[in-house]
Structure 1
């Protein structure tokens, strides 16, 4: 690891032990061209593995062609938006590529969203078509009259027939899957247009590829305009940074609707020409069985995924032997969890950091390197800025802070989105001059490693003392009985606000709230340790594994 150098007066680690800097090759300037180059290079290679099904790159090309022609025949015009209301199924990738081939913009939607959450996304994006699972159609049907959607394509929950079955992956529906009223069956549409090709469409690197809606934890969701350039650059960054090649197999544990799944799984696999292993939705015991069978080598996902694998009943130490390249982001990683995972499975979890607005990573721990732990806070570093990325820590008034001082992380680079869909005011507030103000509070050490303290909005003010929830959570994770922990500030008549912890326990373990409070009291300053602990079976999380402190605050208020 090299010492920091100075670039334009900003602290910046110029060289890492990770190969050459990422660059966008001319033939890979947009994500659609990137796929076409790969499909031409490895037509017979596996593009998707889904249970007992295999989908080659040539077949994926053919099916996405048919999807594009079907959209165009139903009136889709260049720039129109197509919503994908799907789990981690092959149809997601078919529809994504087909939308691009038709000149459209994909709008991935969380399949856990109910109608009241789906409607704002369809209205804000102005989607004219929706692809959804049959089981989700009732949620969509309830809100469609209030939207612009005029084409609804439904698909079965699990199509995982063998490679030789002509119905595999939506090329003909199994018996009994009749069309729902007002919808078109996706399999029937693909069969109808099978063998046809859409007119050639010119895609610019700066065209919007997907509208990826933020989780809405700080307000109404906003559609981040992830461009083709953004997607290709960070797919290339994953390839070079994580040292991936055509021999790798990508395991899709992150939801594909989320930016981590979109880039770290789909775009990266399409760039490599590697197989993408999908399993509908993450379930730890099933995932372990799939890993044993498919032998994936690389994945990136929330730390809650790896906690779940560690606590699964079939988590024998050899289960993850093939999975040699593991990165985790989206939620803070307790050092104790990384240690426990390594002790059990023999694999190291590398930290990675980014946002929807940075199209997945902006920082990552290099392969073969263990992230340093801050000796004062105990926080695990989120890594170094990736290729071509400048990250600064700023204080009040935008003043750049020196190493060691805590402030907001501001990021610029080729992966940063140009803005939010139809929201110029929000764009200017978050991206003044193209620099992303992340809302994450952290610092950089003298060697250039970055550390997150917490989100600005989650800071607790206890009688004038500032408490960061993550520091308390990291201490709780050191207790042998704790599986997951989330800390929030709750009203207190004396201190104004006090610290409360919500905890779930590991299977077969027991701990009383008083025991956990005493455990923290021994390890934290008097104003930091939780005065209240509530034990739950499960902590509320988003589909990507982020703990929902907002719901926990609401739960406390209702109690």
Structure 2
């Protein structure tokens, strides 16, 4: 792939290489607030914040953090859903030179303790309704200060008055015992000056983020991303979506900002472009449809499960989705049928991309307005090199051969936090070894077959679950599917499919088996099927294949 054949498929508006600004990541917000002070930056359940107001709050938080002892290089953990405070906390911490540690609000005490301890976080910003869970863990960590905020702080009247009543009905409490170590977000902002803060950083060396991997393939690791990594990837994404206009786009934020996909293609990109972010604290199909109809977003990055949920909503035809121009799908494979149907309903473009936490995250995408290939993750971003190798020998493989995908580019991480051995296994001569098995065609379009760890070896054959899942998604009765390898005394492993059916659908195993046999080689056809109400997923919508396999192994051991 030395000739980078994919460059022939770049639109004329996209250059193969760019100069990315070597600056502080928070400069995105500062510059947009300077150019568009009165433009709406955030919309949250009826409440709007302009860029001027957002920057003011961010400076106040940065001053407050410094007053609490936060210095350059300290780790500040943020455990918030999508809300104005999440954006303020992110850029406020960055302004002080601190390293942001994004934390999932759904984490259990065990997961939270691991992440806070591994990162060495000294300050945590989170929700008041999480105080009970948080306080059970803090004394076992290095966290010295906690700032609690409430969703109602940025709700318009009368929602802010009704919010506590809703929580009471759900059995949740906003009670926090404020002290010299536990603070009110709202009060700290009110009492802090809005004096500009921008601690100097070396963008190529200093970390902006410790982003923990999802743990879908094992222990969660802290990925070290520099200011430059994130700036480069945000600019690469902007270049790829070249028809967007500064100050005019509306970004629907259903992806959580604590996931690197939402952080880059929503929060950072919107700040760079002076767009308005329409914040959704959590994804719900009906709420999302209503929000699209009401607020007319133009850009809607998401995970395939989001688009699938919208397409299967019984009242989708009642809503006007025609404002949507661009949807970038990531985090999991996008079924071709879903892409075609969603584009037909919205009139916009839904294109599949690919990335990893280790790459800030985007490395590949299909063209949005030019040539695309269904089932492909597309072609490498500007300044991004990719090739397929034989994992053990490092030898480059030919077109069409399946091997490990390796990537090199300005968005590739510095390494794993406190894990030199893991870093040396994953980063070699500047190349990131992704652990994903892939192939490339003669035009330079890449295809993910599966994760190296997910390959099923049955009767000596290598079987790629994604290929089988693509076939199952074509079945008119199947809404969701995951395929896994389970122990088999004769074949070593055998293929089992776990299915979620569409509402009201009925199908038997014989009919699905016939459907698969018409489309797959005999050795790839699942030997058994299990229908479930739902499949285990991460919050962003990535199916936890590992969890399904663990459940099956537990059954096998009992038997």
Q: TM-score when scaled to structure 2?
A: 0.92
Give the 3 Å change call, closer, same or farther, for CA 529–39 of structure 1 in structure 2.
same
Structure 2: how far apart are the matches of 1:114 and 1:121?
Answer: 11
Following TM superposition, by how much is the alpha carbon of 1:523 offset from its aligned partner in structure 2, in angstroms?
2.0
Give the 3 Å change call, closer, same or farther, for CA 35–199 of structure 1 in structure 2.
closer
Query: Which residue of structure 1 lines up, in the alignment, with residue 383 of structure 2?
Result: 388
Query: Which residue of structure 2 lines up, in the alignment, with residue 180 of structure 1?
Result: 177
Question: Which has the larger displacement, 311-320 or 181-190?
Answer: 311-320
Query: Which residue of structure 2 lines up, in the alignment, with residue 135 of structure 1?
Result: 129
Extract unaligned runs of 5+ from structure 1.
168-175, 374-379
Give the 3 Å change call, closer, same or farther, for CA 158–353 of structure 1 in structure 2.
farther
Given that 2:217 and 2:546 are in contact with CA atoms closer than 8 Å, whether structure 1 keeps it comes out as no
Given that 2:128 and 2:175 are in contact with CA atoms closer than 8 Å, whether structure 1 keeps it comes out as no
SS at structure 2 position matched to 1:319 = coil
Given that 1:411 and 1:436 are in contact with CA atoms closer than 8 Å, whether structure 2 keeps it comes out as yes
Query: Which residue of structure 1 lines up, in the alignment, with residue 223 of structure 2?
Result: 224
Query: Which residue of structure 2 lines up, in the alignment, with residue 19 of structure 1?
Result: 13
Structure 1: how far apart are the matches of 2:138 and 2:218?
Answer: 23
Structure 2: how far apart are the matches of 1:531 and 1:118?
Answer: 39
* Residue 398 (str. 1) matches residue 394 (str. 2): yes
Q: 2:488 aligns with which of 477, 492, 498?
A: 492
Query: Which residue of structure 2 lines up, in the alignment, with residue 363 of structure 1?
Result: 364
Deviations for 1:137-168, whole angstroms, at most 9, x for unmatched residues?
2222111111100111111134443499999x
Query: Which residue of structure 1 lines up, in the alignment, with residue 416 of structure 2?
Result: 420
Following TM superposition, by how much is the alpha carbon of 1:466 offset from its aligned partner in structure 2, in angstroms?
1.5
SS at structure 2 position matched to 1:519 = helix
Query: Which residue of structure 1 lines up, in the alignment, with residue 429 of structure 2?
Result: 433
Deviations for 1:293-344, whole angstroms, at most 9, x for unmatched residues?
1111012111111001111233117532101111101101121222233344
SS at structure 2 position matched to 1:392 = strand
Question: Which has the larger displacement, 337-346 or 249-258?
Answer: 337-346
SS at structure 2 position matched to 1:539 = coil
SS at structure 1 position matched to 2:522 = coil
Q: TM-score when scaled to structure 1?
A: 0.92
Following TM superposition, by how much is the alpha carbon of 1:471 offset from its aligned partner in structure 2, in angstroms?
1.0
Query: Which residue of structure 2 lines up, in the alignment, with residue 171 of structure 1?
Result: none
* Residue 50 (str. 1) matches residue 54 (str. 2): no
Question: Which has the larger displacement, 346-355 or 281-290?
Answer: 346-355
Structure 1: how far apart are the matches of 2:63 and 2:77?
Answer: 17
Following TM superposition, by how much is the alpha carbon of 1:512 offset from its aligned partner in structure 2, in angstroms?
2.4
Extract unaligned runs of 5+ from structure 2.
162-172
RMSD: 2.1
How many residue pairs end up in the alignment?
Answer: 537
Question: Which has the larger displacement, 252-261 or 362-371?
Answer: 362-371
Structure 2: how far apart are the matches of 1:36 and 1:263?
Answer: 17
Task: Detail structure 1 runs of 4+ shifted over 4 Å in the superposition.
Answer: 163-167
SS at structure 2 position matched to 1:44 = coil
Following TM superposition, by how much is the alpha carbon of 1:63 offset from its aligned partner in structure 2, in angstroms?
0.7
Structure 2: how far apart are the matches of 1:196 and 1:160?
Answer: 18
Structure 2: how far apart are the matches of 1:18 and 1:507?
Answer: 45
Query: Which residue of structure 1 lines up, in the alignment, with residue 164 of structure 2?
Result: none
Following TM superposition, by how much is the alpha carbon of 1:112 offset from its aligned partner in structure 2, in angstroms?
1.7
Give the 3 Å change call, closer, same or farther, for CA 543–158 of structure 1 in structure 2.
farther
Given that 2:6 and 2:379 are in contact with CA atoms closer than 8 Å, whether structure 1 keeps it comes out as no
Question: Which has the larger displacement, 455-464 or 149-158?
Answer: 149-158
Given that 1:89 and 1:158 are in contact with CA atoms closer than 8 Å, whether structure 2 keeps it comes out as no
Following TM superposition, by how much is the alpha carbon of 1:556 offset from its aligned partner in structure 2, in angstroms?
2.1
Give the 3 Å change call, closer, same or farther, for CA 40–166 of structure 1 in structure 2.
farther
SS at structure 2 position matched to 1:453 = strand
